[in-house]
Amino acid sequence: MIILASGSPRRRELISSIFPEFTIIKSEKDEVVTKTKPDEIVNELSKQKAIEVWDKAIGDNVITDDNSLLIAADTLVFLDGQRMGKPKDYDDAIDMLTKLSGNSHEVYTGVTLFYGNKDSYEEISFYESTRVFFYDISKEDIKSYVDSKEPMDKAGAYAIQGGFAKHIKGIEGEYANVVGLPIARLYQEIKKIGGILDV
């Protein structure tokens, strides 16, 4: 049993490149951040999701005596150490993109894997970081993009794979990490769990 602890269509598409069949159980937990460093924040949030969904799956008898793999992730944008999650509203999206325009920033994704059954599990946690460079973006282009509503459910108020791609000057690191899940790194970590790729 493979469980993706996310309702994100981007993560669903990425994970399907490793596992053609999996179950989605979305986390409903409110985020509680106690850490201050970007890598520690995203790892903390991904682990909170993993714990909540693992417990929920056991309670719903989705996870039983057979081994299961749960994948939880959290992606955030950081500009000069300032955390940028999903925009709260239209004006917040405008503000985020205005700050990111003409600058570079870091996209961090924390990933937590739980592998086991209802009695016990092993945990693997890691993070990936990708630097993204934006061209200067006009106020008109920012407003037009926010009007499309595409950025409203995305960290940093943009999607690298969407209509915003024309404003991306370049990246350093894994592209899929910016989409929401570092799939290449994830594959390498899953390979460390013997036999799971045959599930």
Which residues are known catalytic residues?
74
Whether the CB-CB separation of 183 and 17 falls below 8 Å is answered with yes
C-alpha dihedral (31, 36, 38, 44), degrees to nearest 10: -40
Contact 38, 83 (CB under 8 A): yes
How many Cα atoms occupy the beta-carbon half-sphere of 121 within 13 Å? 23
DSSP label of 28: -
CA distance 18 to 73: 16
By the 8 A CB rule, do 9 and 26 touch? Answer: no
Mapped onto helix, strand or coil, the DSSP state of residue 60 is coil
